[in-house]
Structure formats: structure tokens, C-alpha cells
Amino acid sequence: MNHFSYRDGIFHAEGVDLAKLAAEVGTPFYCYSTATLERHYRIFAAAVPKDTLIAFSVKANGNLAVLKTLQKLGAGADVVSGGELKKALAAGIAADKIVFSGVGKTKAELIAALEAGIYQFNVESEPELLALDKVAAELGKRAPVAFRINPDVDAKTHAKISTGLAETKFGIPAGRVRAAYAAAAKLKHIEIVGIDVHIGSQITDLEPFAAAFARIVELARMLRADGHTISRIDLGGGLGVPYRTDNLPPPDPAAYGALAAKLTKGMGARLIMEPGRLIAANAGILVSRVIYSKRGEKRNFLIVDAGMNDLVRPALYDAFHDIVSVREPSPDEPRERYDVVGPVCESSDIFAADRDLPQLAAGDLVAILTAGAYGAVMSSAYNARPPAPEVLVKGGEWAVVRPRMDDDAYLATERIPGWLR
């Protein structure tokens, strides 16, 4: 469920008329619903064991206002860069609720995280472990560590967002777990605290989770038998969301939470979970205006002012997003089949192919749904098109939470060297 719906013939974000908002802000723009963010977080929190650290995956949506909204509900953060760490802290998320994942942590990032006093490093390789120990020694600190284990489990999701198979770059192979923990135990500035697994994103079946969780619990018991302290089990994220209305929905959080509770029962370990898409995806939309309606030889094209630089998921993953007219169509209104495309100079700049929509013309507004995760955070300035701004609504109020960068401001980010002047 989300809080985007038609009221008096116009698509609204909570109590905000999106046609009026578009006139104020300009298009394209991202719009996030506070009520949806809050609802999704609360449902997830109620579904998982009581003491679970819910570390929102900042890579899904790193807007400071979104992070602050979740921080007020008690969320922690899962970060994968120094920039995301700074964002989480700036949003008021306590350092002791932050876990740092990612395969390529730099020395500067390790220093920043150690100085902040984060809850846990999810270490993904033996070389990273040695680098972390060295930095911790220089700072006179001990680093709390959980190794991310690659369980070689097929998440049954898109290949580009599957992270738990043996051939991916993520984590330590299960066959090297005992050796890795034995090596860590010998390092004076490393504190072993747990074990971590994350097998991918947009997972719509509980079976891969069951296999991964069972494997990680088995390894945790083995490591405890070896004398290691495993007081935390990080189960990662990855639970999918419904991107289209004509498919069966993914498992609900209650089933996911029950599975995690069942498989970790009796371990006496604190659970960590890292939802991102589940919280943010349906809480955001991308609003765009039609530039042209163009008839081709065999297809009709709806050319909108949002492009793949604003929302790259369809081009990158062949991802499906529902698209609706901001003006509510009547039941008997004529319809057309369109390829909904952007103005970027790439054939892959397409949001939908052969999509059934009401007849639309230049100036009409459309909303691309389920765009709150991996939308704005993956945007770019390709074709010298500064990314779309972001707006947060709460009831009948709204605020621009990332302003639009105009062309002059974008140009000001670059420099011409003196020898070219």
C-alpha cells in the first residue's frame, strides 16, 4: 500500500495535488510520501524479532530528509561509502546503529568509520581485514567485525542484483570462513562480533532466504565451537516489492520475519536486517511532462521530459515501472499503446514499451511509480541534464529536499585550465 491516489480527478501524493506541485517545482521531479515511508518501516519493524537492528540501506535512497524520517522511527543505517556514512550521521542516525558494508572500503573511509564509532564493519575479504586492523592500530582502536559470507545461494532475481553466488565479487567463500575468522582472532585491533550474509535484491521468493539463513546459522554454530564470539547475525536485505499490479506480490514482511525468527531461534544473537527497497520503493514516484506525442511507422512514442539519466533502472535492468496519467482518465476514454521514452540520445532511454495508456498529448503529466528506491540515487547528468529535484510531502505540506540544479550551476562545477584560456 502507498499514499498516492486520485482525488477529484488528479493524482495526489497524500494531500498534495501533483498537477499543482508540478507547476510550482517544474518537471521532472521525484516525490516521496512520508506516510508511506513511515507505514512500511513500522510494518517491517513489527514483523521482525523485537531487538533487531533495522539498518536502512542508504544506497536505496540517500536523501537526507528520507533518512531523517526513518531515523525518527528508530532506524539505523547500512552504508557502503564514506559519503553515505556522512549522510547517515548528518540525518541524526547514531553511529552505534550504523553498519558499513561494501567490497572496496578505502583507508579514508575506514578512518572515518572508526572515528565515528560505528556498530559494525561487514568485512568482505582478507585484505580488507588486514587494512582495517592496520588503520585501527594507528588510531588506537578496535574494530567490531562480522565477515560477509558468500553462501553460493541463487537469489532467483535479476543477474545484476544477485550477490550471493560464488562468482560474484561479494563476501568470503563459505569454504574459507574458518580460516578467515582464525586469522581475525590473532589481530589485536579486530574484535569479532558476528557474521553477515546478503544474497541480492528484489527477491520475491522466501526459499533463497531460507537457504542462506540456514547456512549462516550453521556457520555461526561452527564458529562458536571454534571459540569465536558470534553475538550478532546480520541477515542483510533484499526482500522484493510489487512493481506491477498483474503479478503475484512478493512475500510479506511478516512471513520473512517469521522465517528469520524460526531459523535463528536459540542462537541468542542479535539480528541485523538491512531493508532498503522494501521501505522506499513504493514511497516514491517520478513525475514527468509529455513533450511530444509522436507517431512512428509501427509504434507510437510518448516523449517525456524525464530521461534515463533521471531513472536508469529500465535501461540498466529492463525494469518494469507502472506509469499513470496525473489527470484521471474516464472509464470510456480512448486509449493508445505507446513506447514511453525520454529525450536522452540513447536508444535505451525508454521507460516502457508498447504500454497501454489513455491518449496523451504534449503538456500532459505522467507519474512513473515505485521509483523511490534506486531512482534518484542512481541519477546522473548525462547529456548535460542535471538530475531531477526531490520533493517530500507530509499530509498537505511539501518541501523541496534536493533542489533542481540549473544549467549555470551545473557548468560551475567544471573548470577550464589556464593554458586553454
Give me the active site residues, please. Answer: 345
Q: Residue 116 corresponds to which amino acid?
A: A
Question: Is the Cβ–Cβ distance between 302 and 264 less than 8 Å?
Answer: no
Question: Is the Cβ–Cβ distance between 212 and 203 less than 8 Å?
Answer: no
DSSP-assigned states of every residue in 358-371: E---TT-EEEE-S-
- Distance CA(255)–CA(18), nearest Å, equals 35
End-to-end CA distance of the chain: 56
How many Cβ atoms are within 10 Å of 270's Cβ, its own excluded? 16
Question: Is the Cβ–Cβ distance between 76 and 54 less than 8 Å?
Answer: yes
Q: For residue 107, which phi and psi values (nearest 5 degrees)?
A: -60, -45
Question: Is the Cβ–Cβ distance between 98 and 77 less than 8 Å?
Answer: yes
Helix (H) or strand (E) holding 214: helix 206-225
Residue with grid cell 561487514, as numbered in its chain: 122
- Distance CA(116)–CA(85), nearest Å, equals 9
Q: Is 144 helix (H, G, I), strand (E, B) or coil?
A: strand
